[in-house]
Structure 1
Amino acid sequence: MPRPAVLSLVVLTMFLRPAHAQRANRAVYIDNQGVIRWKDDKREVALFGANYVLPTASDYRAAGYLHADRKAMIDEDMAQFARMGWDGLRLTFWGDWEASDSAGNLLANDHLDLLDYLIARAREHGIYMLFSPIQLYGSNWPDALQDTTQPGFGRRFGKARMGTEAAAIAAQVNYLRQILNHVNPYTGVALKDERAIPFIELVNEPWHHPEDLEGSVRYINTLTDAVRSTGCAKLVFYNVSQDFRIGEAIRRSKAQGVTFGWYPTGLNAGHELEGNHLRAVDTFPDMLRPELGRLPRIVYEFDSPDLRTGTMYPAMARTFRAVGAQFAAMFAYDMLKTASRNLGWQTHYLNLVYTPRKAMSAVIAAEVMHRLPRLRSYGPYPENTHFGDFRVSYDGDWSALTAFDAFLYAGSTRATPPDPAALRRIAGYGSSSIVTYDGEGIYFLDKVRPGVWRLEVYPDAVPVGDPFEPPSADKIVTRAISRAWAMTVTLPDLGAAFTVQPVTKGGRAVGRSERGRFTVTPGVYVLSASGSVDSTTLPARIGNVGFTEYHPPPADTLAPSVQSLTAPEYLAGRDAELGARVVESTPADSAVLYIRPTPGGTGGFYRGFVMHRVRGYLYAATVPASVLREGPYEFVITLCRGDSFLTFPASSHSKPTDWNYHGQGSWKLDVVSPETPLRLFTPGVDAARLAFTRIGDAGRRGLFRLGLSGVTGRPVFHLALPVDSSGWSPADYTASLPIGSRIRARRETLARADEIDVRLRGLGPRQILYVTLSTGWDRRQGGGEAATARDLTGWSACSSPFGERTASR
C-alpha cells in the first residue's frame, strides 16, 4: 500500500495589519416595521458573534495572571472572530467601575486604551459592535472581591441606586457624554461617529422598576438624551429580559429597541452538564409580547452554560430568528492565551482552538442568523432539528449546514452537501463525506479559484479536566497538541492527486496527495490540482482573514496524562471493553491496562491487556469474561516507551508487574451479576451533579441539603420548596440526573428490569413525587415514562412496576 506524503510545517505567528480588509463602515437604519436595515442596499441586518471582555474586569486580570501582551491577544482573537465568520461583537466595558471617577468623568487609562485598540482591530476585520458602556455589576468578581480600588461611579452608587438616585443618574449622563465624545487614537474617530458601532445598549442588566412606569420612562429618556446630546445617531437599546414587565416603559420611551439574554441551562453548575437540552430552546415566547411588537431585538448575551456540545448554538440561533432577533452575541469568548485554563468565566467556555466542536457549532450558528428568515417557526423538538439547510443531532452530538455554497459541521456527520462541485467553503470538526480527518482540531477549507483551495488546520484540543470547575491560572483543562494526522480531501476540482503546499515565505511544493490522502500538521496550506502555486498569484485575504494569517496556541509542553473512561459496573460472564484517554504530544510505543481483584477481596495479581487506539487519543482494551468474576476490581494503565514505563493514575515510573512496584493510586470498577440491582441515585455521590428547575435569577441552585439516615447512617437527600411571606411556592420543582454513563455497561440486562425502587418519606401533607425515566428525549416520541408516589409519610420503600408507567413529556 503506498504511503501518504508526510508534511511537517513550522508555522510562524503573523500579526498582519490588513490593508484591504472589508472594514465595518456601513450605516444602518430602522424601517417603519421596526426592522434594522443597511442604508446602502436596504437589506435586513443579521449579525452574530460574542461578548469580548479583555479591556476590563476579570478577563483583563486573567491576561495579567499569565503576563500576556493584551494588545497581541486582541490581534489574535479578532482574527479568530473573522476566521469563524463572525461579524458581531458586544463591547462589554466596565467603564463605570474602571475607566471613570465617582462623578462619571472619563479616565484615560489602560482600560480605555485597550477599548480603543479593540474597536480598531474589530473594525478592520469587518466586525460590527454593540457598545455596552455601563455594566453595573462589580468588576472585581469573582477573583478580586477584596479589591476596593476601582475609582468609578459604579462602585460609588451600586446597581440598586442607578435608576432612581439623582446623583447616580447625573454620573451616568456625564459618563455617556464623555465616552461618546472620546476620540479613538487608533482610528481618529470619536466613538459617537464610529460606524462599526451601530448600536448602544444604555445599561447592562439594570435594576428595573416596572411598578414606576413614569419614573422608568424618565430614566431611559434621560440616558437616551445624554447620547443624543453628543450628536450621536446610533440606535439606542434598553434591556427588557431582566424583568419583562418593563416592556411597556421601553415602548413609551425614546429607546429604539430591546436587548434580551438567554441562559437555558442555568449558570454556574460547577461541573459539566450531561444530557439533551435541545427541548429547552424550542421557543422564547416573552420576546413576542405585543408591547415589544415593532421594537428591534438584540441578544446581548446568550450561552448554553456548562456544556461543550455541538448542537445548542445553532438551535438557539434558530429561535433567535424565530422571535425576530437581528444581532446575537454569545457570552463570553475565551481569549486564546487563557482558554487552556478557561480562566475568564467559569460557567462559559468557547474558543476556536480549545473548544473545536462548540466553536464549529458557533460558526454554524452565525450562518443560521445570516440565512434563516425572521419570525419563522420550525415547530417543537424533535421536529425542529431540521430547519432550512441546517440540522442538529443529539445522538451524534453534531450540527451541520449543507448548502450549495457551504458545508459546515460540528462533529462527524453523514450529512452530505447537495452539490460538492459548487462548494466554496468547508469547515468542520470530525469527518464528513468531503474530509476524513483523524485529528481533534478544527479545520477550514476556502476555495481560492477552480482547482486551488486554502486549508487551515488547528491543533488537537484534548480535554484533561472539567473546564466548569473553579479555574486557576496554573490548572490546564484543555491541551492543544500539534500532531501529524492523516487527512483525505475529496473535491471534484482537486481530483485524487493534488499538491499540498505550506504557506510560508518562499514556500515550495513538498508533497502530493495519494487518492486524496496526505498527512498534515497544524498550519496553513494551499491545495492545488495543477502543481505548485506561485504565491504572488494568491489573494491577500480570504474574506476578512489574511491569506497567511494564522494564530496558533502556545506550544504544549505538559507531561503525559491518562483519564479513565470506564463505566462503574460491568457484567460478569461478559467481555468488557475498558476505555481511556491517553494524552501526550508524542505517542508511546504501547499502552497496557493492568487489572486485578481489589486487595482485601479475593486478592490477586495484576494481569495486563494491550490497549489499541480507537481514534484520536482514545484507547481501549478488551478484558475477557474469564478474568472478570463478581466483585470489586482495580486497574491501572502503563505507557511504555522503550525501557521506560509510566503508570497512571499515580504517575509511577514502573509497571505493576515489577517486584518493587509501589504505585499508590488505581481506578475502581465493580463486576456484578445480571440480577444485581442497578443503583440510579446515591445522595452522597450524586447530589452535587443534579440539575434543577431555575427559580428567579439565581441560576439553577438546588434547594436541598444532605442529612444522615437514622436507619442506615448513610447520606439522605432532603428537598424543601421555598414559601414566601404571601404563601407562594412553586407549583412544581424538578431535579434531574443523567444516568446514561452508569447504565451503558448494563444495557444488556435493562430490558429485563421490572421496577424502580425509591426509599423516601414526605415531610408534610399532600406530598407527590414523580420519578421519570427520560428514555426518549432525543428521539421522535420525546419525553419518557413516569411513576408517581403520593401522600408519603414516614420512611418507606416505594416500588413502581415498569408496566404501570405512563407517558411523560
Structure 2
Amino acid sequence: MSRLLLVLTFLLSSFSLWAQTGDVYVDEKGIMRWPNGEELHGFGVNYTVPFAHAYRSAQKLGIDPKEAIDQDVYHFARLGLDAYRVHVWDTEISDTLGNLLVNEHLELFDYLVMKLEERDMKLLITPIAFWGNGWPERDEETPGFSHKYGKAGCLTDPDAIKAQANYLFQFLNHVNAYTGLAYKDDPSVVAFEVSNEPKHLGSSEEVQAYVSKMVQSMMRTGCKKPILYNVSHHINHAEDYYASGIDGGTFQWYPTNLGSREELGGNMLPNVDRYEIPFKDLEGFKQGAKVVYEFDAADVGRSYIYPAMARSFRTAGIQWATHFSYDPTYLAYANTEYDTHYMNLAYAPQKALSLRICSEVFHRIPLYSDFGTFPDNMTFDGFRISYEEDLAELITDEKFIYTNNTKSQVPNPKKLKEIAGFGNSAVVRYEGGGAYFLDQIEKGVWRLEVMPDAVWTKNIFGKNSLDKKVADIVWNSWKMSVQLPDLGNDFSIKGVNKGNSIATKSNAASFEISPGTYLLTKKGKKHEWSSEDVFKNIKIGEFEAPVTTVKGVELVHTLTSELDKGKPLTVKATVISDSPIEKVEMLAYTGYRPVTYQLKPGSQNQFELVIPAEKLPIGALRYFLLVKTKTANFTYPAGIESKPSDWDFHDFDMYETKVFPTGTPFYLFDAARDFDLINMTWNPGVTLRPLPAPNQSALDVLMKDIPVDEANDRPHYAWRKYFGSNATGRSLSNYEKLVVLGKALNEKPQVIELSLIAKDGSIFGALLELGQQRGEYSILLKDLKPTKMVTLPRPYPGFLPYYFTPGEDVANQLDMSQIEAIQVAVSGQDGCHYSIESIRLE
C-alpha cells in the first residue's frame, strides 16, 4: 500500500491533521526536509536512563535519574550533538493489550525529552523495542505485550499485532507531562521508527500486512511525521517494507561485530571504508528517507575511526545517525550496560571528541559526497584521520577540533572561534588527560571548559559488573598554554562554575588549571558576561563532571614482551593515587641482583623510563614496578601494599621482557597463546586442541562444507590475528620466510592462503600446501603478492562487503616494517581441514 493511499484513507478521520505545523517531510528524492525546504541533518546518540538496566542501576547506586539526565544532556550539548534516538522499552510501559501505562519509566522519558528539547536536540523515537528489560541481567516480569508474545510472536500472532497497533496509537497520542505536547505533535520529534530490529520470516503478503497495519495505526493519530521501518534486517523483504507505506528505511552498522571481550587491535579503517547497501537500486530506497539508528565500532577504544564511519554514511546518502550507546556517567566507571560499547565525555574523552567531529561531518559534507577509498580518503574537506596517530581532526578558518596530540597547523589563528581537543596542538598545550573546550563568546573573551582526567585501569570491554571499576576520574591541576592572538600573552583566568573561585593571570600565555569552567579575558578588555548568561545552548557557568573516583593506587602498564638486542627499552606506566605520589621505580632482574631505575613523571599521569640498549643483555629482563605514595608502598603487577624488601612480601609474579639476538624467529601466531585473540566468524568446526607437549596447542579448522558469507557468493573462510603489539620491540625487516607448523586433517593435502596485512590496508599473500604429516611448511616473503583482504571481524549487517579493496595510494610492495596482522584463508568446495600450531618469521 502506498503512503499516498494511506494518507487518503485516514485524512477524513484524522481531525488533528490540519493543526500540525513544522513537521519534517520526505521529498521525491528521499531527502528529509524541514517545512522551509532545508535539508535535515542530525548526528547524536542513543541513551537509555529511563529504562531497563540503566534505570535499575540508578536505583541501586542511589542516583537521582533526573539529575543524571541533566548532566549527560549538558554533555551532549557540549559535544555539539543535535540528534537523539532510543528504542523505548515497551515492555515496561504497556500491558498485554497494548494499553499505555503512565508510570515512572514514561514520566522519566517525558523528562528526558523535555531536557533534550531545551538544548535544541531533535528526536527519532522507536516506540517498540521487543526486548525484555533485563540485559545484561535477567529479564524481569514486565506487564507488556512483548513479554507475553516475544519478538517472533509479536510479528505473527493476531492478538499481538492488535496490541501493537493499539500501543502505537496511544504512544503517539501521549501528552508529555513536561512539554504539554503529544509526541505526534512535538516539532522536536522529527520521525518515528515503528520498531527495533524486527526479524520477519513470513511471506511477502504477511510482512506487508504487518507493516501496513502499524503505519496505519500511527497515521490514524494524525501524525504527519515520517514513519520509518528497519530495512536492514532480512533484506529479502526490502521491497515488501517499502511497499507497505513507510517513508523511509533505517539502518545500523557494527563494522567490527560485537562482543570481542577484548579491545581489537590493528587498523579497522578498511572495515568502515564503505557502507554499501545491496538494494540501493530499489525505487523505494531511492525515494525513502535514510537513517542510521545505531552504529558503533564495538570493542575499539581508539578515537580515529568514527569520522571515517560518518564520512561513509554521507557517501551512502544517510542524513541522520545516532551512536549506540552513550553510557550514563554514573555507570561509566563500570561499563555494565553494554560492555562491548563505551562512550562518555568524562570517561572516554577522546572517543567523545571523535563524535564531536562526526557531527561536523554530518553538517558539512553534502549527501553522496565520495572521497575515494582508504588510504586515499584520510583527508577530506578539512577533516583528517590517522590510525597510526590515533587522531581525528577538523581544521577550518573558525574551528579546530582534534582527538589527540597533533602537529597540524591552523591556517589563521586570528579567525578561530572554537577549539576542542585532547593533548597538545599548535594552539593549546595541555598536560592533563581530559577533554577541553574553548569558545570565543566575543572578541577578547573566551569560555574555557576543562574536564578531569580519565584513566582506564582495566579491560573496558570485558565481563563487567557494578562491583568492578574499570575506569577512574582524577582531578588534578595541570599546566596549560593557549596561544591565541585574540587573547595575547597576558590574559586573566576567572572561574565561573559553581564553587570555582580561581582568579589568576597567564604568564607568557601559560597557567595552571584545574577542572572547571573559566572566562579568559584579554588584558584591558571589559565585558558583562556572567555565569548565568547563555551562549548558544549552554550557560557560561555550566560544568558537569564526576568527582575523583580513585581509591588507593592504580597502575596501568603495557608490557613490551619481546625486544631485539641492540634496542633500548621504553617503560611507561600510568599511575594514579588518592595520596600524593612520591616516586615510581622499576626493580629489574637480569640475574640474581636487582637494579633500580626511577621513572620520570610526565603528562597525563604517565611515568616513563628509557633503559639504554647496552644495559640489556640477551635473556629475560624480569621486573617489578614500585609506587611510593605519601602513605604507603605498592608493588606491581600484583598490586599489593608491600615492597619486595619486606620480610613478608609473598607475590613474586613479575613483568618480563625477553631480549633476543637479532634474527631470532618471531611468532606471528601461537595457538596456545593467541586462540582467544583471533578475529573470525564463529563456527563449531574451529577449535583449540591441546597437545601433549607443555604449553602447546593446535588450532583445528575442520568443516565439511565451507560457509558462504551473506556478502560473498562463494565458499570462503578466513581468520585474522593482530600481532602488532607484540612486534613493538622487534625489527621485522630482515626476515626471509614464513614458517607454518601444522598439517592437513584428512587424507588430502590442504591448500591455505597465508597473507600479511600492513597498516595502510595493503595485503600480500601466497598459497601454501599443508601435507598430512605434522611438519614445517614455508613461504618465501619475496613470493608474497597483493591479494584480497577479508573484513574481519565480519561487519553487521552481514550484507556489507566481504572483501576490502584499497585505493591507489596503498603500497604495492611488501614493507615488513608496516606489517601488523596475518590472515589465513581457505576457499572452494572441498571443505576446510587443517591444523596450525604456530606461524613464525625466520
TM-score, normalisation: structure 2: 0.87
Task: Give the aligned residue type for 2:133.
Answer: S
Task: Report deviation, 1:260.
Answer: 0.3
Task: Report deviation, 1:70.
Answer: 1.0
User: Conserved in 2, the CA contact under 8 Å of 1:609 and 1:622?
Assistant: no
What is the aligned counterpart of 1:671 among 630, 636, 659? Answer: 659
Render the CA deviation track for 1:567-617: whole Å, top value 9, x for unaligned.
1122345442222222225551211100114xxxxx512210111134322
Cα RMSD (Å): 2.4
Q: 5+ unaligned residues in a row in structure 2: which ranges? A: 1-20, 789-842
Task: Report deviation, 1:150.
Answer: 1.3
- The aligned counterpart of 1:17 is none
Task: Give the aligned residue type for 2:663.
Answer: E
- CA spacing shift, 1:623–1:691, aligned 2, 3 Å: same
What is the aligned counterpart of 2:186 among 170, 194, 210? Answer: 194
Q: Matched residue of 2:587: which SS?
A: strand
- The aligned counterpart of 1:248 is 239
Render the CA deviation track for 1:409-468: whole Å, top value 9, x for unaligned.
111112223222222111011211111111110111111100000000001111101110
Deviates more, 1:269-278 or 1:30-39: 30-39
Determine whether 1:205 maps to 2:200: no
Q: Matched residue of 2:608: which SS?
A: strand
Instruction: Determine the C-alpha separation between the residues in 1 that align with 2:316 and 2:636.
Output: 51
Task: Give the aligned residue type for 2:175.
Answer: V
Task: Report deviation, 1:627.
Answer: 4.6
Task: Report deviation, 1:296.
Answer: 0.9
- The aligned counterpart of 1:590 is 583
Determine whether 1:709 maps to 2:691: yes
- The aligned counterpart of 2:757 is 774
Instruction: Determine the C-alpha separation between the residues in 2 that align with 1:682 and 1:791.
Output: 17
Instruction: Determine the C-alpha separation between the residues in 2 that align with 1:741 and 1:259.
Output: 37
Determine whether 1:784 maps to 2:763: yes
Q: Matched residue of 2:370: which SS?
A: coil
Q: Matched residue of 1:383: which SS?
A: coil
- The aligned counterpart of 1:622 is 610
Q: Matched residue of 2:189: which SS?
A: coil
Instruction: Determine the C-alpha separation between the residues in 2 that align with 1:712 and 1:480.
Output: 43
Instruction: Determine the C-alpha separation between the residues in 1 that align with 2:663 and 2:744.
Output: 30
Task: Report deviation, 1:27.
Answer: 3.2
Deviates more, 1:356-365 or 1:672-681: 672-681
What is the aligned counterpart of 2:164 among 146, 159, 172? Answer: 172
Determine whether 1:36 maps to 2:15: no
Q: Matched residue of 2:666: which SS?
A: coil
Instruction: Determine the C-alpha separation between the residues in 1 that align with 2:569 and 2:444.
Output: 48
- The aligned counterpart of 1:68 is 63
Matches within 5 A, 1:435-450: 435-450=428-443
Determine whether 1:640 maps to 2:628: yes
Q: Matched residue of 1:486: which SS?
A: strand
Q: Matched residue of 2:729: which SS?
A: helix
User: Conserved in 1, the CA contact under 8 Å of 2:122 and 2:188?
Assistant: yes
- The aligned counterpart of 1:19 is none
User: Conserved in 1, the CA contact under 8 Å of 2:579 and 2:629?
Assistant: no
Task: Report deviation, 1:485.
Answer: 0.7
Q: Matched residue of 1:160: which SS?
A: helix
Identity fraction in percent: 33
Task: Report deviation, 1:518.
Answer: 0.7
User: Conserved in 1, the CA contact under 8 Å of 2:135 and 2:337?
Assistant: no
- The aligned counterpart of 2:105 is 111
Instruction: Determine the C-alpha separation between the residues in 2 that align with 1:504 and 1:563.
Output: 32
- The aligned counterpart of 1:5 is none
Task: Report deviation, 1:634.
Answer: 2.1
Render the CA deviation track for 1:517-570: whole Å, top value 9, x for unaligned.
111000000000035866556772222112211111132231112122221122
Instruction: Determine the C-alpha separation between the residues in 1 that align with 2:424 and 2:330.
Output: 27
Instruction: Determine the C-alpha separation between the residues in 1 that align with 2:238 and 2:425.
Output: 46
- CA spacing shift, 1:115–1:644, aligned 2, 3 Å: closer
Deviates more, 1:574-583 or 1:480-489: 574-583
Deviates more, 1:271-280 or 1:582-591: 582-591
User: Conserved in 1, the CA contact under 8 Å of 2:444 and 2:525?
Assistant: no
Matches within 5 A, 1:389-428: 389-428=382-421
Matches within 5 A, 1:554-565: 554-565=547-558
Matches within 5 A, 1:507-518: 510-518=503-511
- The aligned counterpart of 2:7 is none
User: Conserved in 1, the CA contact under 8 Å of 2:564 and 2:729?
Assistant: yes
Determine whether 1:124 maps to 2:118: yes
User: Conserved in 2, the CA contact under 8 Å of 1:216 and 1:249?
Assistant: yes
- The aligned counterpart of 1:731 is 715
Instruction: Determine the C-alpha separation between the residues in 1 that align with 2:499 and 2:588.
Output: 54
- The aligned counterpart of 1:94 is 89
- CA spacing shift, 1:692–1:592, aligned 2, 3 Å: same
- The aligned counterpart of 1:806 is 785
Deviates more, 1:25-34 or 1:107-116: 25-34
Task: Report deviation, 1:730.
Answer: 6.2
User: Conserved in 2, the CA contact under 8 Å of 1:430 and 1:439?
Assistant: yes
Instruction: Determine the C-alpha separation between the residues in 1 that align with 2:123 and 2:646.
Output: 62
Q: Matched residue of 1:310: which SS?
A: coil
Instruction: Determine the C-alpha separation between the residues in 1 that align with 2:772 and 2:264.
Output: 33
Q: Matched residue of 1:300: which SS?
A: strand
Q: Matched residue of 1:163: which SS?
A: helix
Determine whether 1:369 maps to 2:362: yes
Render the CA deviation track for 1:625-660: whole Å, top value 9, x for unaligned.
455333333211112245843222233444334566
Determine whether 1:761 maps to 2:743: yes
Instruction: Determine the C-alpha separation between the residues in 1 that align with 2:458 and 2:50.
Output: 28
Q: Matched residue of 2:668: which SS?
A: coil
- CA spacing shift, 1:571–1:444, aligned 2, 3 Å: same
Instruction: Determine the C-alpha separation between the residues in 2 that align with 1:506 and 1:394.
Output: 40
Task: Give the aligned residue type for 1:439.
Answer: G
- The aligned counterpart of 1:579 is 572
User: Conserved in 1, the CA contact under 8 Å of 2:672 and 2:695?
Assistant: no
Task: Give the aligned residue type for 2:196.
Answer: N
TM-score, normalisation: structure 1: 0.90
Task: Give the aligned residue type for 1:54.
Answer: V
Deviates more, 1:306-315 or 1:707-716: 707-716
What is the aligned counterpart of 2:217 among 211, 226, 236? Answer: 226
What is the aligned counterpart of 1:337 among 330, 337, 350? Answer: 330
- CA spacing shift, 1:537–1:332, aligned 2, 3 Å: closer
Deviates more, 1:127-136 or 1:52-61: 52-61
Q: Matched residue of 1:773: which SS?
A: strand
- The aligned counterpart of 2:813 is none
Instruction: Determine the C-alpha separation between the residues in 1 that align with 2:755 and 2:328.
Output: 40
What is the aligned counterpart of 1:56 among 51, 60, 79? Answer: 51
Instruction: Determine the C-alpha separation between the residues in 2 that align with 1:639 and 1:150.
Output: 50
What is the aligned counterpart of 1:238 among 207, 229, 239? Answer: 229
Q: Matched residue of 1:366: which SS?
A: helix
Instruction: Determine the C-alpha separation between the residues in 2 that align with 1:136 and 1:379.
Output: 39
Q: Matched residue of 2:609: which SS?
A: strand
Render the CA deviation track for 1:111-143: whole Å, top value 9, x for unaligned.
111111111111111111111111113222221
Instruction: Determine the C-alpha separation between the residues in 2 that align with 1:460 and 1:470.
Output: 24
Instruction: Determine the C-alpha separation between the residues in 1 that align with 2:473 and 2:397.
Output: 33
Task: Give the aligned residue type for 1:201.
Answer: E
Instruction: Determine the C-alpha separation between the residues in 1 that align with 2:709 and 2:286.
Output: 35
Task: Report deviation, 1:277.
Answer: 0.6
Instruction: Determine the C-alpha separation between the residues in 2 that align with 1:806 and 1:727.
Output: 24
Determine whether 1:45 maps to 2:33: no
User: Conserved in 2, the CA contact under 8 Å of 1:508 and 1:532?
Assistant: no
Q: Matched residue of 1:184: which SS?
A: coil
User: Conserved in 1, the CA contact under 8 Å of 2:254 and 2:295?
Assistant: yes
Render the CA deviation track for 1:214-234: whole Å, top value 9, x for unaligned.
222221110001001111222
Instruction: Determine the C-alpha separation between the residues in 2 that align with 1:431 and 1:722.
Output: 55
Determine whether 1:745 maps to 2:729: yes
Q: Matched residue of 1:577: which SS?
A: strand
Render the CA deviation track for 1:44-99: whole Å, top value 9, x for unaligned.
1010001111111222233233221111111111111111100000022111x111
Task: Give the aligned residue type for 1:499.
Answer: S
User: Conserved in 2, the CA contact under 8 Å of 1:566 and 1:580?
Assistant: no
Determine whether 1:298 maps to 2:291: yes
Task: Give the aligned residue type for 2:470.
Answer: V
Instruction: Determine the C-alpha separation between the residues in 1 that align with 2:708 and 2:266.
Output: 36
